[in-house]
Amino acid sequence: MEIDARDGRSLYRTLAGAVVPRPIGWIATRGPDGDNLAPYSFFNVATPKPPTLAFSAGDTREGLKDTARNAVETGAFTHNVVMADLAAAMNETAATGAIDEFDRAKLTAVDARTVEAPRVGESPVSFECAVVETVDFGASTLVLGQVQYVHIADQVTTDGKLDTDKLDALGRMTGNGYAYTRDRFELERPE
């Protein structure tokens, strides 16, 4: 199979199915209608210096999704790592409509220290981000946020550092698929 991407057909399924597993950006914002929490599978670290995270929100017929609109208007969002034991709660926050996602998923909204956004109290790692740039591109809005503050629970640390062996994070596949990040191996980088 070969696809000429210049013909305008959607490559969503191909991108979402081949670029896997993707980290899940569990993005929380605060807006005029209250707190908002939604998972984004088009999410990643943009650069470590300055520490910057990025998520891409598909636009709706009415314009920006609540998460992107709130982030743009307030200049802030938090990213909360989705652990395996939070999978069902994360899925509940993917529902659409005028709902309180924190309440629906039975999660605790905790005020961030440095930005005007909540974070997920149950997530062991949360990043507070200040929006530094947005890019309207095609049918999506890319939001870049510089990390201002990080919350890391002691249960996922060893000797004062984040221990990825203790971080039971989930990855996003395609459709309804997710992946555990438990099956790991190491390769030494060649010199």
Per residue, the 3-state secondary structure of 82-110, as one string, reads CEHHHHHHHHHCCCCCCCCHHHHCCCCEE
Count of structural domains within the chain = 1
pLDDT band at residue 165 under the 50/70/90 scheme: very high
What pLDDT sits at residue 138? 85
Residue 114 lies in a domain: yes
Residues 146-160: pLDDT tens digits? 999 999 999 999 999
Length of the chain: 191
Specify the amino acid at residue 125.
V
Specify the residue for token string 């062996």: 165
Residue 4 lies in a domain: no
Residue 95 lies in a domain: yes
Which residue segment(s) compose the domain that 141 sits in? 10-177
Number of H helices, E strands in the chain: 4, 14
Res 162 pLDDT > 90: yes
Dihedral, CA of residue 21, residue 27, residue 33 and residue 34, to nearest 10: 130
Residue 5 lies in a domain: no
Res 97 pLDDT > 80: no
Strand partners, 151: 126
Percent pLDDT > 90 in the chain is: 79
Coil, strand, or helix at residue 19? Answer: coil
CATH of the domain at 101: 2.30.110.10
Residue 162 lies in a domain: yes
Q: Within the chain, where are the H helices?
A: 12-18, 66-74, 87-92, 101-104
Specify the residue for token string 């947005």: 134
- Taking residues 20-48, what's their average pLDDT? 95
Helix, strand and coil percent figures for the chain, each rounded to 5: 20, 40, 40
Res 98 pLDDT > 90: no
Residue 52 lies in a domain: yes
What pLDDT sits at residue 13? 86
Residue 186 lies in a domain: no
- Taking residues 85-114, what's their average pLDDT? 94
